Amino acid sequence: MLHTLKIFIPELIGSFLLTLCFSLSAEYSETLRITPLAYGSMMMALMYMTDRSSGYFNPGITLAAAFCGRVERNDAITGITAQVFGALVAAALAAFMRESGGETVVAMHGNNNPFGAMLAEFFGSFALVYVFLSVSSGDNRSFTGLASGFCLIACGFGPGILGGGAFNPALALGAGITEVLDLNDLWLYVAGGLGGAAAGATVFTLMNREMAQHR
């Protein structure tokens, strides 16, 4: 029970804060595009609050870690459950806060071609997962948060412009509920995010077989 809580609580908190940060920073992103900087920096900070048994905050990364043998199946299910639940709670709170503030919703979806947006999510997720697995498995694992955070910032300002730059299915679900992202496009965030994560994990495993088994 204690082991489960040690995974569930940090993942819940992390997913909640990331989704809340993403949803609320979008108020200003129409002109300043600060959302990638905001939630990328949040990701960077959050990863230093956890131990090695958690700190993924993203179903794609959790599945990639499980694929590489770093996370047991039950722990992966616990983590993903916490991530989705945290995103939903943050979505409800963000919607209330935005409505209470009387601000206009700023839509992040900026590409009329959904497949282009899906590819943007795919390659952003691929980059995030590959960076995460590589840094966290090497001698510079203490810089995992820094590397992942700046990867999110870079991808958010790059491919993220096409589709919103979630690179996280749980976050996309929460952002869709708050209408920051188009909920009808949730499929592309799930397909692109998980597909990119799977591709990143596969490439990492093929190129780093010994490192992939390191815990």
Instruction: Give dist(CA 122, CA 112) in Å, integer.
Output: 17
Backbone angles phi, psi at 132, to 5 degrees: -60, -50
Give the model's confidence band at 180: pLDDT under 50 very low, under 70 low, under 90 confident, else very high. Answer: confident
Q: Among the listed ranges 2-16, 77-91, 200-214, which one has the minimum average pLDDT value?
A: 200-214
Residue with tokens 């966290």: 136
Q: What is the pLDDT of residue 198?
A: 94
SS3 sequence of the chain: CHHHHHHHHHHHHHHHHHHHHHHHHCCCHHHHCCHHHHHHHHHHHHHHHCCCCCCCCCHHHHHHHHHCCCCCHHHHHHHHHHHHHHHHHHHHHHHHHHHHHCCCCCCCCCCCCHHHHHHHHHHHHHHHHHHHHHHHHCCCHHHHHHHHHHHHHHHHHCCHHHHCCCCCHHHHHHHHHCCCCCHHHHHHHHHHHHHHHHHHHHHHHHHCHHHHCCC
Here the tokens at position 87 are: 């995103």
Does domain 2-212 fall into CATH 1.20.58.340?
no
Q: Retrieve residue 82's tokens.
A: 């916490």
CA distance 85 to 70: 23
Token pair for 213: 């088994």
pLDDT of 182 higher than 50:
yes
Q: Which of 66-70, 107-111, 146-150, 163-167 has the lowest mean pLDDT?
A: 107-111
Q: What is the structure's pLDDT at 17?
A: 82
Average of per-residue pLDDT values in the chain: 80
Q: What is the mean pLDDT of residues 44-69?
A: 81
- pLDDT for position 86: 93
Given this model, what pLDDT does residue 112 score?
57
* pLDDT number for residue 120: 83
pLDDT score of 186 more than 70: yes
Name the band, by pLDDT with cuts 50, 70 and 90, for residue 100. low
Domain edges within the chain: 2-212
Examine the pLDDT at 156 and tell me if it is beyond 70.
yes
Residues 196, 60: Cα–Cα separation, whole Å = 8
Average pLDDT over residues 46-59: 74
* pLDDT higher at 35 or 79: 79
Half-sphere CA count of 209, side-chain side, radius 13 A: 1
Average pLDDT of the residues in 132-160: 82
